[in-house]
Structure 1
C-alpha cells in the first residue's frame, strides 16, 4: 500500500471551514487509523489570506507542484467579494486542474470551488453542483461552462466531487476519504469523529 498524497489548493479568499475539513478528516485517518494519507497545502504565495482574514502558511507554492506525486486535489470555495476568482481563475491553476483530471486523479471541491473546475473545462458535459441558494444564481452561472448542474448537496461524476454549500464540506472530505480508502474505512472514521 503506497503513501497517498492530497494537494489542498488555497486560492486567496478561500473559506476556512471548507479548507480545514480536509486536514482534519485525512489527519484522523492517518493518525488514528493508520492510513498513509498525507496532505500538502498549496497556493500562489507562501501565505494565503482566507475570506475572513485568517492567514495560512502553505507547504508549497504552485510552481513547486509535480502532479504525479499526488492522488487527489481538493479545492475549498471562497468569496468573490474578497477576490477569490482572481486566483481561482488564474491560468496556472486552471492548467493544474486540467492535468489532475487528464491523469484520472480525484478532484474534490466545496461550494464555489466548482467554478475553477468549470472554467478549466474539466466539467464540460459532466454532472456537478455549486452553491444553491440565492435563487440558484450560482448554479446558473456554472451551467454556462457546459456543466450538467444537479441541485444536490454532493455530486460525484467519476473522479470529480462537487458540492453546494459550506454545510457539505465534511461530507466532501469523507467522500474523498472513501475514494482513497474504502467505504468501510470511511464509515469507521466518520463515526469516530461523531458524524
Structure 2
C-alpha cells in the first residue's frame, strides 16, 4: 500500500496541510488504497492560527518505501528565517535520505525552504509563495525558482505555490497515479476546480473546457462524464437544466468553444485511450463502455484523430 506522510512543523499553516490531506482523504473515499500518516519533529506543534495538535509520532518513526510521498507544508515566515529552523540538521538530513530512497518529496508554500536546507533544490525547478520566491532564490542560489507557477514537478521533487496551490499539486499527483477520470471525481467531490500548472503541457478534456463559471454548462459536463456510455440527446440534456435545446446548444458552445457533440466525442475518446492501455479489453468492450455504436466506429474516429 502506498503511503503519504505529512510532516507537521511548528507554526504550520493550516490550509497548507489540510488542503492536500483532504484531497487524498477524498481519494480514499472513492477507493484509492493509500495510507495517510502524520509526523512531527517537535512535540505538540501549534499552527499559525493558534490551533494546537496532540501527540504525534516523530518523523524518525516513519517507514517509507520507494514510490511513497512525503509532504512538507508551509510555516510561519519568521520561523523559517530563525536559527531554530536552520539548526534542524537531523531533520533536513532525514528528508535527503528519503529522497535518496526514491521517495517523492513535496512541499507546499514555504515548505520549499526545508527542501532547500536539505540540499534538494540544487539545479531543480521549484516554486513557493509569490511573496517568498525572491527570498528562496537568494537563500538557495543554485535553485531554479519559478515565479509564475501553481506548482512544479522536477524529477522526484514537487513544489507548490502558496496556500491553496497545495490542493492543485495534490490533485496533479493524484492524476499521475489514478488518471484524469478519477481525479475529476475527487475534485468534484471537494467542490474545487482542478487546475494545472502553466508549465504542464498534457491536455485533458476534463479540464480544458471548464474554464468558465456557468453552472448550467458545468452540470451538463458533469452529467456527460458520468453517463458517457448512455445515449445522450439534446432534448434530455436540456430537460436536465430546464432550458430549451436551442438555448443549451448556444450557451454550451459560447462557454466552451465546442459543441455538445464535439465535447462528448472527446470525452469518449479520452476514456477509450485509458481503457486501451489494458490489453485484456477487446475493442468491442471498449467501444461499448465509451458509448460508441461499434468497434468499427471507434477505430475510424481514433484513426481520424491520431
> TM-score, normalized by length of structure 2?
0.57
Question: In the TM superposition, what are the counterparts of 1:130-169 in structure 2 within 5 Å?
Answer: 130-133=128-131, 136-144=133-141, 146-151=142-147, 152-169=149-166
Q: Which has the higher strand share?
A: 1
> TM-score, normalized by length of structure 1?
0.86
Question: In the TM superposition, what are the counterparts of 1:82-93 in structure 2 within 5 Å?
Answer: 82=79, 86-87=84-85, 90-93=88-91
Checking the alignment, whether the CA contact within 8 Å between 1:109 and 1:163 is kept in structure 2 is yes
CA distance in 1, matches of 2:80, 2:51: 14
Question: In the TM superposition, what are the counterparts of 1:108-127 in structure 2 within 5 Å?
Answer: 108-127=106-125
Checking the alignment, whether the CA contact within 8 Å between 1:72 and 1:107 is kept in structure 2 is yes
Note the C-alpha offset of 1:88: 7.0
Q: Is the partner of 2:65 in helix, strand or coil?
A: helix
Note the C-alpha offset of 1:6: 0.8
Question: In the TM superposition, what are the counterparts of 1:171-186 in structure 2 within 5 Å?
Answer: 171-186=168-183
Partner of 2:78: 81
Structure 2: runs of 5 or more not aligned: 193-306
Root-mean-square deviation over aligned CA pairs: 2.3
Q: Which has the higher helix share?
A: 2
Runs of 4+ more than 3 Å apart? 82-85
Provide the aligned length of Structure 1 versus Structure 2: 190
Q: Is the partner of 2:122 in helix, strand or coil?
A: coil
- Structure with greater contact order relative to length (CA < 8 Å, sep ≥ 6): 1
Greater shift in the superposed pair: 160-169 or 71-80 = 160-169
